Structure formats: C-alpha cells, structure tokens
C-alpha cells in the first residue's frame, strides 16, 4: 500500500512538472509574440525615421546647388558655381547648368562653362521643349505655375530670376515677372547610385544599411527605375527629389530647422527599401520562432533533466532495495552454515566423539559448510574489489582451456548428479589457448555450472560445451533445460544484487553477485558473456574468449593494482 502511494505521488509530481512546463511554454509564447509585435513596430518606426532624414538631406543637397545659382548676373553664376564645386559637396550630381534668357521674342539658351568662365549659346534639347513653351507663356503674361518646374520624368530644375526687391526674399513680388531662368540639369544615375547609398549608410548605419535592398523609381511611372529593380512589398518608402522653393529663394541663411516629413506623393522619385532577408515582418517572425525554439529547447532540456533525475532516483531506490535483499540473503547464507557448524561442534563434544563414523560425518559437514562460507566471503570480496576499480584476476599466463574445463566439470559433477541431472560434457580437441588468470576463469565457469544446477535442476539436464569460435577464440557454453529466465529479466541478470522473481519466491539461496562477477571476469579477459533463454525450455550462457597471441605474448593490458 505504501509503495502504491509512493508510486502515485511520483506520477503526480511528474504530471505537475509537465503541466508547469506547459504553462511556462504558453506564457513564453505569448510574451515573445508581444515582444515581436513591439519589435516590428520599433523597426518600422526607426526605418521610416531614417528614410525621412535621408530624404531631407537629399533634397538639401539639391537645394544648396540651386541656391548657388538662383540669382546674380553671368559672372555671379559662374563664380558661385565654381564656389559650389569647390565646397566639397557632390560635384558629380550636376550634369550641366544653363541660363534661359529672353531675346528677340524667344528664349536663348546659354550653357555655363566654369572652365572658361563663359556662358556659351547652345540649342534647346528636344526633351526640354515643354519647359521652353512654359517659359514663353510666362513672358507673354499668361498666368500659370511659376517657380520650380516639377517634371517627374526629367532631372531638370528651372529656377526663375525676378527683379531684386528689398528684404530677405528673392522670390517674386506682386506684379513681377521673370527676368530669366537658371536651368539645373542633374545627373540622375549619380544621385541614385552614389548619393542615395551614402545617405542610407549615414542614416541607417552601415551594418543595418547592408541588410536592405533599395530601389529608386519615378513616382508617376513606378515601373521605371533610376536605380535598382522591383523589390516586392517594401518595408518603407519615402519621396525624393523634392527641393523646397522657400529654401532656395530665402536670402541669407540655409534651410529651415524643422520641416514636416516628406510626402511620398510630392517628390519626383520614390525610394523604397526592403530587408534583404525578406520583409521586416518575416525577419521578426523568424526571430520569434528562433526565440521560441530556444525556449522550447530549454523547456525540453528541463523536462529531460527531470526525467533523468526521476529515472536515477528510481534506479537508486531499486538498487537500495536490491542491496537490502543482498544483506538479507547474505545473512541467510551465513546463518545456515554457521548453524550446521555450531551443531556439529556441539555434538562432537558429547558422546559422538567416541564414534569414529560420526566424527568423520560431522567433520565432513564442518568442512563442507566452511567451504560454503569461504566461497561466500570470496564472492563478496571479489565484488568489493571490482567496485574499488581493481581487476578480477591477478595472474597473467597462457592457459590451455581443455584441462581447465575438465577440472571444472569434475568439481561440479557430484553436485549435478546429486541434483538428479544428467551431466553432458563436450570439449572439442585443439582449443586455442587464451591469456589470463586460470583461477578467475575457473571460478566463472564453476559459477555458471552451479547456477545451472541450482535453477535448472527440474529439467534434469546440464551441459558444458567448448569449441573454437567462428571468428577466432573459444566459445564456452553452459546450458540447462530448466524453467528459463523471463524475457523482462534477461537484461538484468548480470546486474549486481539482481535476483529473479522465481529465486525470491522459492527462497533459493544466493546473493545476486555471481553472474555480475562472471561478467566482470570475462570482460577483464577481453571477452563477452551473453544469455539466451526460452521460458519453459531452458537457459544457455555463452562465453566468448579471444585466443592468446602466438609466442605466448599477452594481448591484454596489465592489471591495475
């Protein structure tokens, strides 16, 4: 009843731990999910903020160039252009600068040549015909859009110049018309492939920027790419190429400090970025699953550790029970011969001492029981030596097995015959020699024969076979036709202190150390011992020993002392 309660208590503890780990896993899954959502929002906000700063700086670079050319006569244009080129900004972003000046009812186009400090007449490019017509309409007094010419399909910026009026504003006053225009032709590929990557590294950080794919496309024609290619659904996007009119025409002073974020629907270009490993949502999801995998692994490790502890505790409890059984068995084994010896000694002190036949009989009893005590003590001492790490044999010599096995058969024949068993001995001729301790090997074989007699006597047949092994060495078999060993016990027969249910129920004398010592002796000789048993048909133990090397050399390591 107590064992049942302990068993149920153990299963209850296991169930509680499993349930607790499940609850922790569910909570961890929920928490990691919340953290992942917050991390995704943080990454999106950080990315969009970085792109907004990038767009502002991109537009500021264009505005600084436009400011340098927005006012002054020819000489001023050239001087300010040279000053801008020498300022260390991005001179490669400017393809060419022009002046569009009214002349004879038309517009004359002059290309600024800072190398020669001249403004050279040049024909109007066909692609700029729409810009030219818009300027002519303004000169004719038609009302329409003035200021920055925003053309999404071009990199041209037209900057009107008005008569100078007092104040900080260089733009138009009431009733004023344009005197001329400055045309700034920018290098689109340079802006998209040189300036944009530089700003990405600056505002996202070089390690983070390397994780993103980017594309620059025309806003009103998304299929037309200035740089990069289609990247799918972007993680963030921002308007580019949106220079501010007020910034360019404000006299004295640079761009204003705070401005609203760029509107993606107002720039000429659109910059789109996407994480190289997938969308931010996918990256966060992968990170989440990695965290969940690590958490699951930790919980699994915890459960495995609990299982190992429980298994170890059960094994320890089982070992403790076997040790208690061993103590009880040894006590019983000691009590019987001691009782016989004490009784025989008492009888010998009386009148029995005058009867020679009785003296001889009691002397034989004392000798027999003393030998049993010696064997028991020797068995316990051998087990203690093995547990202390010492080998189970001391001598090393070349052994002829045939005489050793014949000696074992002769030593056990009387006991086997008295148990009512037929004893079959078949030792093949020409057995290879082995290297080891003959006393230890003889003890192992005697133990197997004694076990066959003790547990298999009901089959009335015990056999000892020895023959060369197929792969080399010697195979020794000890068999009986007794009740056999149950299948669930066969894996434990070589464990120390183990005794089968039948041995316990029938109160068969024994300590549970014999087969454990047999296994230790055989393995110390480099061999193996196995058991084969069919319940109800008998049991066979098989020892396989390697042959000694030629010349008598020992192929085994020296025993430890």
Average pLDDT of 51-75? 83
CATH tag, 394-552: 3.30.565.10
More confident residue, 383 or 169: 383
Of residues 426 and 339, the one with the higher pLDDT is 426
The mean per-residue pLDDT over the stretch 361-373 comes to: 72
pLDDT given at position 557: 42
pLDDT at 371 exceeding the cut of 50: yes
Q: Which has the minimum average pLDDT: 254-258, 452-456, 474-478?
A: 254-258
pLDDT value for 148: 47
Show Cβ contacts of residue 229 under 8 Å, excluding neighbours closer than 6 positions. 215
Give the pLDDT mean for 433-462. Answer: 86
CB 67 within 8 A of CB 159: no
Mean pLDDT confidence for 531-545: 89
Q: At residue 363, does pLDDT exceed 50? A: yes
pLDDT at 508 over 80: no
Domain ranges of the chain: 1-278, 394-552
Report pTM: 0.49
Assess whether pLDDT exceeds 60 at residue 145: no
Q: Tell me which of 105-119, 142-156, 292-306 is least confident.
A: 142-156
Per-residue pLDDT at 209 exceeds 70: yes
Average pLDDT, the chain: 77
Specify the range with the lowest mean pLDDT, choosing from 239-253, 305-319, 339-353.
Answer: 239-253
pLDDT > 70: percent of the chain: 71
Helix, strand, coil shares, percent, the chain, to 5: 50, 20, 30
With beta carbons less than 8 A apart as the criterion, state whether 395 and 363 touch: no
> For residue 498, is pLDDT > 70?
yes
Looking at residue 5, its pLDDT comes to: 67
DSSP track, 408-438: HHHHHHHHHHHTT-EEEEEE-TTPPPEEE-H
pLDDT of residue 255: 46
Tell me the CA end-to-end span of the chain in Å, nearest whole number: 48
Region of 375 on the Ramachandran plot (φ > 0 left; ψ -120 to 50 alpha; else beta)? alpha
d(CA 356, CA 373): 25
pLDDT, residue 206, reads 78
Higher pLDDT pick, 5 / 258: 5
Residue 411: pLDDT band (50, 70, 90) is confident
CA 73, 75, 76: angle at the middle one, nearest 5? 65
Give the C-alpha separation, 295 to 203, whole Å: 34
Decide which of 285 and 22 is more confident: 22
Distance CA 266, CA 255 (A): 19
The pLDDT of 254-261, averaged and rounded, is 50
């Amino acid at each position: 009843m107590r064992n049942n309660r302990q068993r149920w208590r153990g299963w209850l503890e296991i169930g509680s731990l499993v349930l607790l780990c499940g609850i922790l896993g569910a909570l961890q899954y929920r928490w990691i999910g919340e953290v992942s959502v917050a991390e995704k929002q943080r990454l999106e906000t950080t990315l969009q903020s970085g792109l907004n700063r990038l767009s502002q700086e991109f537009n500021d670079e264009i505005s600084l160039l436009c400011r340098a050319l927005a006012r002054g006569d020819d000489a001023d244009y050239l001087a300010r252009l040279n000053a801008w080129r020498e300022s260390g900004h991005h001179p490669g972003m400017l393809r060419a600068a022009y002046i569009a000046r009214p002349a004879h009812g038309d517009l004359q186009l002059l290309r600024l040549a800072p190398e020669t400090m001249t403004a050279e007449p040049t024909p109007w490019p066909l692609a700029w015909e729409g810009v030219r017509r818009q300027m002519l309409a303004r000169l004719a007094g038609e009302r329409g859009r003035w200021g920055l010419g925003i053309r999404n399909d071009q990199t041209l910026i037209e900057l009107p110049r008005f008569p100078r009026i007092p104040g900080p504003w260089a733009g138009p006053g009431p009733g004023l018309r344009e005197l001329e225009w400055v045309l700034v032709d920018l290098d689109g590929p340079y802006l998209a492939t040189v300036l944009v990557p530089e700003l990405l590294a600056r505002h996202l950080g070089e390690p983070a920027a390397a994780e993103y794919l980017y594309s620059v496309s025309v806003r009103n024609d998304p299929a037309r790419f200035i740089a990069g290619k289609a990247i799918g659904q972007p993680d963030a996007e921002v308007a580019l190429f949106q220079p501010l009119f007020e910034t360019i025409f404000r006299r004295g002073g640079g761009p204003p400090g705070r401005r609203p974020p760029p509107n993606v629907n107002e720039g000429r270009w659109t910059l789109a970025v996407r994480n190289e490993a997938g969308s931010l949502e996918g990256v966060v999801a992968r990170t989440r699953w990695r965290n969940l995998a690590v958490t699951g692994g930790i919980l699994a490790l915890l459960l495995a550790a609990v299982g190992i502890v429980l298994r170890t505790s059960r094994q320890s409890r089982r070992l403790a029970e076997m040790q208690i059984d061993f103590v009880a068995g040894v006590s019983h084994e000691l009590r019987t011969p001691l009782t016989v010896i004490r009784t025989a000694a008492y009888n010998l002190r009386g009148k029995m001492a005058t009867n020679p036949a009785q003296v001889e009989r009691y002397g034989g009893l004392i000798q027999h029981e003393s030998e049993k005590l010696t064997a028991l003590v020797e068995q316990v001492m051998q087990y203690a030596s093995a547990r202390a790490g010492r080998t189970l044999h001391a001598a090393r010599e070349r052994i002829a097995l045939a005489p050793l096995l014949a000696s074992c058969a002769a030593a056990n024949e009387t006991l086997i015959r008295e148990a009512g068993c037929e004893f079959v001995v078949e030792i093949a001729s020409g057995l290879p020699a082995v290297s080891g301790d003959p006393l230890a090997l003889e003890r192992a074989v005697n133990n197997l024969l004694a076990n066959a007699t003790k547990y298999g006597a009901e089959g009335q047949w015990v056999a000892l076979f020895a023959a060369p092994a197929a792969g080399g060495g010697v195979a020794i078999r000890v068999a009986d036709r007794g009740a056999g060993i149950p299948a669930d016990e066969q894996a434990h027969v070589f464990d120390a202190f183990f005794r089968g249910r039948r041995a316990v129920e029938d109160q068969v004398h024994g300590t549970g150390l014999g087969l454990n010592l047999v296994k230790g002796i055989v393995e110390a000789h480099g061999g193996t011992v196995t058991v084969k048993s069919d319940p109800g048909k008998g049991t066979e133990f098989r020892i396989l020993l390697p042959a000694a090397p030629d010349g008598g050399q020992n192929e085994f390591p020296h025993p430890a002392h």
